[in-house]
Structure 1
Amino acid sequence: MKPFLYLVIYKQWKQYLLLFGILLSSLGLIWVLQKTINQTFHIPIAIQDLDQSANSKTLIKQLKQEPILEVSTLPLDDDYIEEAVTKKEAVISLQIPKNYSSQLEQNDLHEAILLYGRDDFIGNISLEIVSQSLYNQQIPHLVHAHVQEADTNVSINQVKSKLTAKTPASNVDFRALHNASNRSLSMSIIFGLLLCISSIQILLHHNLKQNAPLQRLYLAPFSKLKLYGLYIAAHTIVLLIILWLSALLMHQQLSITFYLATLFVIIIYELGISWLLFTINTLSHRLFMALIYAVAITLIYIYLQF
């Protein structure tokens, strides 16, 4: 076993280090790209505030606090607020009427807000967020009206304070962080890209393909099995470390089932790569076939996540 360790591990340690560095750099680049995309993805909405009241300004403030909304204000003398949508400057444009504050206090917001929006998925998301903000602003007034019907002398400010104090904190984030997933499409795409990049190992370990020494090595019993097994084991460990770092960096909670399934895919992948490395003589042919094989394995791997 020592000759194989010397050949596959000891003499190739620089190549393993370089492969790990390339994969780590690629992972860092993917992470930066993902962060950039997340930061630049905003839904633009335009608002014309004709009321200029505390309630209307509170509504605008609530919408501005939504992380995926980019809120812009329209001039008060703009009579064609729908042009913001038709010119693709905004996904939706809405007009807060002059009597918005009084309608809110009277719980009469039916058809109060004039709104134009795109008739698509993003437009529906924007409409849902605006509707939720309107509903949240209306809740204290609904409660206040109900309390007044019970002949209880309570101010609207007292109702708001009580609602704020009694509203429970959401446990959604806590549960999401502690529920490990058996499947992850995003993680499979990221790791699939890294698998394709790892096909460069064909180039890094090209000096292992020496026909005469390999033929002499194959004379020993089980030598080919030991050579292939050691090569596959070494690269499987490298890829598993990269997978673990990927999950850590992308904040993915993955189950043992996911890791075992990925381990199986890695072994199948490395089995094919090792066969190409030790069988195909021409380097360019090996590299091309390794890339095609990596893409095929990646597509199968991603398909299994559905």
Structure 2
Amino acid sequence: MEPVRPELFDFHGVAMTKYFTDNWENIQNFQARPDDILIATYPKAGTTWVSNILDLLYFGHMSADRQKTIPIYNRVPFLEISFPTMDSGTELADRLQTSPRLIKTHLPVQFVPKSFWEQNCRIVYVARNAKDNVVSFFHFDRMNLAEPDPKDWSSFLQRFMEGKMVFGSWYDHVNGWWQKKQTYEKLHYMLFEDMIEDTGREIDKLCSFLGVSPSAEEKEKITGVVQFDEMKKNPMANYSTCAAMDFKISPFMRKGKVGDWKNHFTVAQNEVFEEVYQKKMKDASLQFRTQL
């Protein structure tokens, strides 16, 4: 049975769908542990990439079976998901046997369960430039039947600029988490573009933040495994085992590049987008690159 595409609605000031709010009480009461690591992103900003890196850093040595037989969404559960035919994200997270538990979220910072802050958990946030992010989100919504209908590109782009996306405004999301970083020292803020530019360098920074020290050989192996083309063909990383996604429309992992927005934006769309961007991105200390 195909899932029915959900409708967006306003949820405490953020656009959401029922698949992320139906289990709200359990999400808010989720009990984090001090060694939990939360991977937070706006949708389509490199979540699976970083999830895979962390899983390999911590558990790559355990057994090859883990990475070859368990889909990434079971190794790193999606905290707020609540889908009728599946276990909820909170149930999956509670059942994790690993230590640390790796948990992912797309929640804006103000929605994160308070136990993560109370337990002083480490959080890895990944942000991606808005132009590539909206393009990736568009193709994702086309193929993911659990997302609202994206309609055509130009109306999708307009809704993105207005923040009428699942998990709300990109601007609010990246800025909210950036502000949190200024006061919460256990938050590592990564940029997708930096990871594309030099994956090994960014893994080094991540290791330093997490206090892990893989050997040079392990690090080289991880860097190889998490290259986009490798992950795209790996059924345990590429979501091809997920029933809600129609790969005939578009793959879950499409291009993984910086600058693909140029193939989608018209000159006029780019001008309007730039104008909105300048208004919304007032904090000059958070800078993104739209090309490398």
Give yes or no for TM over 0.5.
no
Q: TM-score range by the shorter chain?
A: under 0.3
The one of the two structures with greater contact order (alpha-carbon pairs below 8 A, sep at least 6) is 2
TM-score (norm 1): 0.20
Structure whose alpha-carbon radius of gyration is higher: 1
**TM norm structure 2:** 0.21
